[in-house]
Structures are given as C-alpha cells and as structure tokens.
Structure 1
Amino acid sequence: MVEYRACCDTSYADLVADPCILGVFPLLMNNISKGNTPNLRFVIWTSSAFFGMIHMGNYTYFDYSTHFYWVPLMVGAQFLVGLVLSYIRLNHGMKWAIIFHAVYNAVLVIPAIYFYEP
C-alpha cells in the first residue's frame, strides 16, 4: 500500500509561515516595483522571522497543541541563525552564507544519523 501522507500532510509550520510569506512578499515586491528601496532592517528581520517559521517544519513529530510553549524557543533558535546568515550574506557574500548553512546543518545532522537507533 502506498502512503501519501508526506505529500498531503499540512504541518503547523505551513499554516503559520505560508500566509505570512504570501501576505508580506507581494507587498514588498509592490513597494520595490514602484521604485522604493526597502528598509534593510525590515528585510533582515522579516527574512529571519520567515527563516525561523519555515524551519518549524523540521520538527515533524512535535505535537504543537500540547507543547505550544516550546514554539518560541524553537523559532527563536532558527531566527538567530537567520540573523547570522543575513550578516554573513551582507558582509561576505552569498557563497559563504550557503557554505555556513551547509556546515551548520552537517554539524547537527551527522551526529543524529550516527547515533540514530530505530
């Protein structure tokens, strides 16, 4: 039997982040298309917040309804990583931000794979 849950399952992260992105991104693009330059602080803080919300999807087996008080900590950690990536991107370039993101993920994922016991 084929299980379609992965493609059809809607997570809490999707329910929170998607409307935010779909609401703010068109407003930002409309502002830019009128010739206005966006406020850099707004862009950094907003993109870091979106980075944190999008990465809530990493916690697939987390029950948000009973442990909702952990959500600020989970999003806060990813939000800080988003700020660090923004700093690296602005001061050192996109290549170094991508490399940092890959190394950061590897530091977290490799031990998880190594110590995983089914």
Structure 2
Amino acid sequence: MIETFKELVAYLKNPVLEEDPNTDLQYRLKKFGHLFIISVVSIGLLTPILALIEASGLINMDNHAVVEMMENLPKIAVFFFAAVFAPLIEEVIFRGPLTIFKEKKSFKFGFYIFAILFGLVHITNYTITTNVLLLLPVLVAPQIILGGYLGFIRIRFGLGWSILLHACYNAFFISLSFAGLST
C-alpha cells in the first residue's frame, strides 16, 4: 500500500503518458484495491473541513444535488446514477481524451486541466451562492484530487479501470449515505 501511495504521489507530481507494463490481473487488482483505499482515506481526511464549513452555516448541504436526488428518487435510481451512469460518462469525458496528448509538456498540462475541470464541474452540485463561489477551491478539492487518482489509473491501466474505480468510489459513498453514515 505504501509503495502504491508513493508511486501515486510521484506520478501526480510529474504525470507521464506511460502504461504500466505489468498486465498481470492479480497485480492490477492489488493496485486497484490500494488506490480505492487511498481515495476513500484521502477524501475522509477532507470531510472534517467540509463539515466545519457546513456547521458554520456558510454552505447549506441540504441543497446539495445528491441530497435532493436521494429525497426525490428511489434508492436504486440514485445508486444507478451515482455508481454506473455518472462514472461512465465522466470518465469518457474527463479521462478518455488524456491519451491524445503525446508530447510530455502537453500531456502534463492536459492531465492537470482535466483533473481540475472534473472538480469544477462538480460545483453544479451546489446551489450557487457567493459563499459557494468563495469556497469553490475547498468544495471541489475532493473531486480534483480524485480526478488525479482516476487519471493515474486510467493512464497506467486503461480507461476501464478508471471507470471501475470511479464506480466503486461513488458506490461506497452513496452506500454510506443510504446507511446514514456520511455527512
């Protein structure tokens, strides 16, 4: 796990268009598991900051698109949207094009831009207010970070793996919400 984390951090500092030459399924499943845990823990570390913002009254999370969706749709529809539809569409849009950047500098630029755009598109989950705009970097930080992780696995293992990681990540957090365990 520590090796995977160090590899991920090094990659995020200097992303390159280079597939992992090890195509062994067991190896990839192990790395996938590590990346899933790293993703969940990373976002878990940001949760207290987001909870503090909500508790301070700066943001009303009751107006969050996911909360509204959970109140208005059957759980199975919410789960399908969050764990199947959204990951598939978002990965095709935000990670699919990464391999068109063949030059080292353009790849690095494209990698970061797509991770940031992935985060920024998630601001639409909030009702746009002055506070939301002022807190935008903090509110979308989890998605920007996740965008980097998903970009890493997409380049190293392929688009299918980033779709799967995104789906598992969303399924985990939506399941926590269904169980009443998330903020």
TM-score strictly above 0.5:
yes
Q: Does 1:105 align with 2:173?
A: no
1:11-32: CA deviation from partner (whole Å, max 9, x where unpaired): xxxxxxxxxxxxxxxxxxxxx8
Tell me how far apart the structure 2 counterparts of residues 42 and 67 of structure 1 sit (CA, whole Å).
27
Tell me how far apart the structure 2 counterparts of residues 67 and 115 of structure 1 sit (CA, whole Å).
24
Runs of 4+ residues over 4 Å off in structure 1:
none
TM-score with structure 1 setting the length: 0.58
2:119 equivalent among 40, 48, 52: 52
Q: Pairwise mapping of residues 8-87 of structure 1 onto structure 2 (< 5 A)?
A: 37=102, 39-59=106-126, 62-87=127-152
Tell me how far apart the structure 1 counterparts of residues 102 and 118 of structure 2 sit (CA, whole Å).
22
Which residue type is aligned with residue 140 of structure 2? V
- Unmatched 5+ stretches in structure 1: 1-31
Q: Does 1:96 align with 2:161?
A: yes
Q: Displacement, 1:68?
A: 3.6
For the aligned residues, what is the CA RMSD?
2.6
Task: Return the structure number with greater relative CO, CA threshold 8 A, min gap 6.
Answer: 2
Aligned residues: 81
Q: Displacement, 1:73?
A: 0.8
- Percent identity between matched residues is 28
1:64-87: CA deviation from partner (whole Å, max 9, x where unpaired): 313443211112221111111110
- Unmatched 5+ stretches in structure 2: 1-99
Tell me how far apart the structure 1 counterparts of residues 131 and 107 of structure 2 sit (CA, whole Å).
37
